[in-house]
Amino acid sequence: MSVKEKLTAIADEIRNYGNIDGEMNLVEMADNVSVVFWEGYAECDAHHTARYVTAFVTGDGTNTITFAVPFNPDCFFVTAHGASAVSANAVQQMVFDARSFARYGGMYRIRRNGSNTQGTMSSATGGNFFRWANNTCTIECPSALNVSYASDAQYICTAVKYTDKTDKELLEEEIAMLTNEAKTIEFSKARINATVTDAEWTVMIAHLTNVNFAVNINT
């Protein structure tokens, strides 16, 4: 692969993730890397957690773990804690080997402290190893990988459902839940600025006559 082909491949990725058309020179490519980053940031920012449930699951030596979730989640996170009796390498291989979670999951990370191992992974639902049915989530490592959930490891499983509500709708809901008792409520000024105009904010809090609002541009 020539240098030009490599640069074109990078540019293709920037165009793809940044939804950008046309050729870019090196300076434009560098500039648009931040566009790609913020594109992803905006996507995350546009999704707010509507519901979540966390379960503590002990592995049973099989290639699946299950936990109750009363809604069809959009994504999930799993953190594994290896017992000290299990070597770090064993937990890593069984739970976070690149052939299992890392291959199909969104990301994974390992922290080691002596013989204890902690690993975290997350993924959107609908992957090869994640199912939801009958109010139960099942996370399955493909049997071909010969990977099991260790019976002496604890798995903290969190399933998350996103909401389609806008930032403004969420702020309105939050304000609507406040009572008009005398108190001071702190809000992020940055959040308010990004969500409503000054006039809208004034109207939004107008009925809370007994409430001080301390808004901070630094939070």
Least CB distance to another protein at residue 137 (A): 37
Nearest Cα to Cα of residue 159 among 46, 44, 57, 62: 57
* CA dihedral sign, ordered 48, 71, 127, 62: positive
Which residue number, 136 or 219, has a Cβ lying nearer to another protein?
219
Please select the residue that binds another protein; options are 98, 197, 202, 203, rule is CB under 8 A. Answer: 202
Question: Whole-number minimum distance, CB 206 to another protein, in Å?
Answer: 8
Give the pair of three-digit tokens for residue 70: 């009363």
Residues 148-187 that bind another protein (CB under 8 A): 182, 184, 186
- Minimum distance, C-beta of residue 110 to another protein, in the bound complex (Å): 25
Q: How far apart are CA 124 and CA 82, in angstroms?
A: 24
Q: Say how far apart CA 135 and CA 116 lie, in whole Å.
A: 32
The whole-angstrom separation of Cα 50 and Cα 41 is 18
Determine the size of the site formed for another protein (CB under 8 A): 18
Nearer to another protein, 169 or 186 (CB): 186
Q: Under the rule (CB under 8 A), what is the footprint of another protein? A: 182, 184, 186, 189, 202, 205-206, 208-218
